[in-house]
Chains A and B, each alone.
Chain A
Amino acid sequence: MPSGESSTVSRGGSPISVPTGDHDDLAQREPPSGSVALRPPLRVTTCGAVDDGKSTLIGRLLFDTRSVPRDQLEAIERASRARGQSEPDLSLLTDGLRAEREQGITIDVAYRYFGTPRRRFIVADAPGHAQYTRNMATAASVADLAILLVDARNGITHQTRRHALIATLMRVPSVVLAVNKLDAIEDPQAVFERVCSAFAELMPADVRAIAPPDIRARFKTIPISALRGDNVVRRSGATGDGPAPRGSTLGWYTGPTLLELLENAEPRAARAMPLRLQVTAVIRPGDGAIAGTGVQARAYGVFILEGRVSVGQEVVILPSGRRSRVASLGLYERSLTYADAPRAVTLTLEHEIDVARGDFIADADRPPEASSSIEADVVWFDRNPLVSGARLIVKQGARSVRAIVERVAHRHDPNQGAVRLESDAASELAENDVGRVWLKTSAPLVFDVYERSRAMGSFILIDRTSTDTVGGGMILQGGVA
């Protein structure tokens, strides 16, 4: 859909105009009073090294937006008092597992839900320990925005670089560098500026090379104190929404607060993609005919990954390459003339052709690529290294194929940039490494490159013996099969 085009949604009362595509202008407008937030929620992830204050920051966001229920607040006040702390420890709101509270660290991704009158948010708190990089990748893979937290006292660290690399590789649409704990140091303004320029300078050569200019332009910087709440929801030193009084620690900062950055973030690049959907269920109606359509035999439960599907549209089924037209479209008892991504619907095709669960259906004029030889960036999670010759399962949504690792081309080093590896049998990726590999698959993979589509360009790697998820992949190109 072209940017700025609107569709009309009726919710019992007066029609509300919802812009689709580019959301820039919407963020500046106030929502209609009394309405439920209409847009899908913004998915946010926080990352940074251990002790940078991620859990405290999320606790602060929840607390200052009044999203913490009274009984939960009372529970953390009790727990904080029991440990001899006078102020409630806001990090206790997200550290949910017993081991986490005992060790004072975050082990696993925790999800929190909150909203303001302008927007709803799903926040994934990703742990900072190096061995839990996989959880950061998990959160970043679906994130619309990443908050990269830096402790002002330590500046840019190895972990900051690693997380910036993963956020960039995974094409998180917006990244905010939040310099935290500025209340704890002398001359915070100079330190903040030093950290920001260090970040720009020290961003791994690799990240700079792979990040197209539009992604780099989306890195935003902000000075905060999660502990005191400065510039998180409230302006530094301010008691209400007014400007900061003179002399407050971060009063020199005049940009938007973190919450304002979140409220105004674009969920993803506004780019019209051709239709891509995947068959997730083959539905056989009990009585043989689909009510109201006259179509016999089978319907398909599908998930629209990109673009729009319309009744009458010419489509191609992949990997078979057969063509048909959309005969009917709907969900439950409702018929639809068209539907937009991301959406689950049920459809029928004009021709009775063999379509299986996991198959892709696409715009017949602009189909995705298909290849049995793939180059991809892989984030590796397993304790055992990824080596050439390894046999794995590649899964894309509802479709699994077998794969052999043909070559581990190189490893991305967060400190030194791309490190070329010898392309021999000894090349490997260790746990938490990010690298470039070539895969050969037992059947063609159907894809668009990851840069164009996170949904069509990603896959997970499954170990056939342990059944564990051992890696995540982002497709760069298909090769000669």
Chain B
Amino acid sequence: MTKIGSSSTPPASAVIADEHDGAPDHLDALESESITIIRETAGAFERPALLFSGGKDSAVLLHLSRKAFYPGPVPFPLLHVDTGHNFGETLAFRDQAARVSGAKLIVRSVEDAIRRGIASEDPGPMPSRNRAQSPTLLDAIAELGLDALIGGARRDEEKARAKERVFSVRDEFGQWDPRNQRPELWRTFNTSLRRGGHMRVFPLSDWTELDVWRYIQREHVELPSLYFAHEREVVERQGRLTPISPFTPLAAGERAQTLTVRFRTVGDLTCTAAIESRATTLEQIIAELEASTTSERGSRLDDRTSEAAMEDRKKEGYF
């Protein structure tokens, strides 16, 4: 189910001085900052975890975590909040990537949380489980006693995220208070917590979408096949190509099409739209993005509900 990026040669474990010797370039600088943030999190907190969705950003985070602690093991577990609406490819990739990394994978399910009454399903057809993710996550944090969650959010994704700190404090209700954030000076991070609170840590804060793809290419990071062009049955809804699945069935009067598509961002089946693309290699994806005039989250239906959709969800504890 999974696919390796176009160039599948593993990095040479040469003992001679290699191409990365010398002055750090753009990707080296980003990588070094992220690795330092991940090491700081592992060192400063009792029970950190890495939020692992199986998407490209969390795949990069896992890769950075392996590099940060090599030759030792990744010293924290991976946590996935499974909405039950995931792509099968994402889940298969999640399990395989966790196995390869040697890190422990913990899965907590939104369906379970709904059954237990701590989360509720949005009403209406094609319900999104976006909001139901937050109580499920907060419940998992309490259950597992987690004090820091490493996430793959980037500031270039969305306007509310552009204001996020690298180490971002959450109170015991999981709330983000954008008007009262800690100043972050130089590269020294305040990792202190008040009782009951926890930290959200964003090592990829300063990466752009293109940085992520160029890094995936340079480091041969594996990804789910969804990101590469493939044939898929989709239906056009409000100008967007929605994949047809048990959670997003064809409605009366709609016409399914089989198109060559890929996903630029991968969330739930209910909120992720495909884009028409023939990009089957990392080189082609990067070229496509360089020429693109729309933003990454332009194909995410969950951000389009209102101008402040992301800000409101973040205040409730969303990632």
Q: In A229-256, which residues have CB < 8 Å from any B CB? A: none
How far, in whole Å, are A339 and B20 apart by their CA atoms in the complex?
9
Decide if B188 is an interface residue (CB 8 Å cutoff): yes
Query: Which of these, A96, A286, A459, contacts B160 with CB under 8 Å?
Result: A96
Can you list, as one digit per residue, whether each of A94-122 has a CB less than 8 Å from chain B (1) or not (0)?
11111101000001111111000000101
Q: Is B155 touching A113 in the complex (CB atoms < 8 A)?
A: yes
User: In the complex, which of the residues A72, A111, A393 has the most CB atoms of chain B within 10 Å of its own CB atom?
Assistant: A111
Query: Looking across the interface, which residue of chain A has its beta carbon closest to that of B181?
Result: A108
Contacts of A20 in B (CB 8 A): 22-23
Contacts of B187 in A (CB 8 A): 142, 303, 397, 455
Q: Is B32 touching A342 in the complex (CB atoms < 8 A)?
A: yes
Q: Is A281 touching B39 in the complex (CB atoms < 8 A)?
A: yes
Can you list, as one digit per residue, whether each of B164-193 has a CB less than 8 Å from chain A (1) or not (0)?
000000000000001101111111101011
Contacts of B316 in A (CB 8 A): none
Decide if B254 is an interface residue (CB 8 Å cutoff): no
Q: Is B178 touching A285 in the complex (CB atoms < 8 A)?
A: no
Q: Is A336 touching B18 in the complex (CB atoms < 8 A)?
A: yes
How far, in whole Å, are A381 and B184 apart by their CA atoms in the complex?
12
Decide if B159 is an interface residue (CB 8 Å cutoff): yes
Q: Is A137 touching B183 in the complex (CB atoms < 8 A)?
A: yes
Q: Is A283 touching B71 in the complex (CB atoms < 8 A)?
A: yes
Q: Is B185 touching A280 in the complex (CB atoms < 8 A)?
A: no
User: In the complex, which of the residues B23, B162, B184, B295 has the most CB atoms of chain A within 10 Å of its own CB atom?
Assistant: B23
Q: Is B22 touching A69 in the complex (CB atoms < 8 A)?
A: no
Q: Is A37 touching B26 in the complex (CB atoms < 8 A)?
A: yes
Q: Is B160 touching A97 in the complex (CB atoms < 8 A)?
A: yes
Decide if B66 is an interface residue (CB 8 Å cutoff): yes
A-B contact count (CB 8 A): 227
Q: Is A342 touching B24 in the complex (CB atoms < 8 A)?
A: yes
9-residue interface stretch from B9-17, B76-84, B91-99, B116-124: B9-17
Query: Looking across the interface, which residue of chain A has its beta carbon closest to that of B73?
Result: A286
Q: Is A40 touching B15 in the complex (CB atoms < 8 A)?
A: no
Q: Is A79 touching B307 in the complex (CB atoms < 8 A)?
A: yes
CB distance from A8 to the nearest CB of B (A): 7
Q: In A325-381, which residues have CB < 8 Å from any B CB? A: 331-344, 346, 357, 381
A: number of interface residues (CB 8 Å): 88
Decide if B194 is an interface residue (CB 8 Å cutoff): yes
Contacts of B31 in A (CB 8 A): 344
Decide if A213 is an interface residue (CB 8 Å cutoff): no
CB distance from B316 to the nearest CB of A (A): 14
Decide if A70 is an interface residue (CB 8 Å cutoff): yes
User: In the complex, which of the residues A18, A98, A112 has the most CB atoms of chain B within 10 Å of its own CB atom?
Assistant: A98
B: number of interface residues (CB 8 Å): 71
Query: Looking across the interface, which residue of chain A has its beta carbon closest to that of B218?
Result: A11
Query: Which of these, B17, B25, B158, contacts A40 with CB under 8 Å?
Result: B25
How far, in whole Å, are A473 and B310 apart by their CA atoms in the complex?
34
Query: Which of these, B19, B35, B194, B208, contacts A344 with CB under 8 Å?
Result: B35
Q: Is A469 touching B183 in the complex (CB atoms < 8 A)?
A: yes
Decide if B36 is an interface residue (CB 8 Å cutoff): yes
Query: Looking across the interface, which residue of chain A has its beta carbon closest to that of B197?
Result: A467
Contacts of B292 in A (CB 8 A): 69
Decide if B163 is an interface residue (CB 8 Å cutoff): yes
Q: Is A467 touching B194 in the complex (CB atoms < 8 A)?
A: yes
Decide if B274 is an interface residue (CB 8 Å cutoff): no
Can you list, as one digit per residue, whether each of B200-230 has a CB less than 8 Å from chain A (1) or not (0)?
0000011010000010000000000000000
Contacts of A69 in B (CB 8 A): 292-295, 298
Q: Is B311 touching A97 in the complex (CB atoms < 8 A)?
A: yes
Q: Is A36 touching B26 in the complex (CB atoms < 8 A)?
A: yes
Decide if A384 is an interface residue (CB 8 Å cutoff): no
Q: Is A39 touching B26 in the complex (CB atoms < 8 A)?
A: yes
CB contact under 8 A between A336 and B20, given known A97-B160, A462-B190, A462-B192? yes
Q: Is B294 touching A70 in the complex (CB atoms < 8 A)?
A: yes
Q: Is A107 touching B179 in the complex (CB atoms < 8 A)?
A: yes
Query: Which of these, A135, A299, A301, A398, contacts B183 with CB under 8 Å?
Result: A135
CB distance from A81 to the nearest CB of B (A): 14
Decide if B234 is an interface residue (CB 8 Å cutoff): no
Decide if A71 is an interface residue (CB 8 Å cutoff): yes
How far, in whole Å, are A454 and B15 apart by their CA atoms in the complex?
34
User: In the complex, which of the residues A72, A94, A101 has the most CB atoms of chain B within 10 Å of its own CB atom?
Assistant: A72
User: In the complex, which of the residues B186, B193, B214 has the most CB atoms of chain A within 10 Å of its own CB atom?
Assistant: B186
Q: Is A395 touching B21 in the complex (CB atoms < 8 A)?
A: no
Query: Looking across the interface, which residue of chain B has its beta carbon closest to that of A356?
Result: B43
Query: Which of these, B24, B27, B32, B183, contacts A381 with CB under 8 Å?
Result: B183
How far, in whole Å, are A11 and B19 apart by their CA atoms in the complex?
8
Q: Is B183 touching A467 in the complex (CB atoms < 8 A)?
A: no
Q: In B20-64, which residues have CB < 8 Å from any A CB? A: 20-29, 31-33, 35-36, 39-40, 42-44
How far, in whole Å, are A41 and B29 apart by their CA atoms in the complex?
9
Query: Which of these, B36, B71, B307, contacts A280 with CB under 8 Å?
Result: B36
How far, in whole Å, are A466 and B197 apart by their CA atoms in the complex?
12
Query: Looking across the interface, which residue of chain A has its beta carbon closest to that of B167?
Result: A469
CB distance from B186 to the nearest CB of A (A): 5
How far, in whole Å, are A467 and B159 apart by their CA atoms in the complex?
27
Q: Is A333 touching B43 in the complex (CB atoms < 8 A)?
A: no
Query: Which of these, B11, B15, B312, contacts A292 with CB under 8 Å?
Result: B15
How far, in whole Å, are A97 and B19 apart by their CA atoms in the complex?
43
> What 10 pairs across the A-B complex have the smallest Cβ distances?
A96-B159, A7-B22, A69-B295, A40-B29, A467-B192, A344-B32, A333-B13, A281-B39, A71-B298, A20-B23
A-B pairs with beta carbons under 8 Å apart, 8 shown: A7-B21, A40-B29, A41-B206, A71-B294, A97-B178, A107-B178, A287-B71, A462-B190
Sample of 4 more A-B contacts, CB < 8 Å, known A96-B158, A281-B43, A398-B44: A38-B26, A75-B307, A334-B14, A472-B185
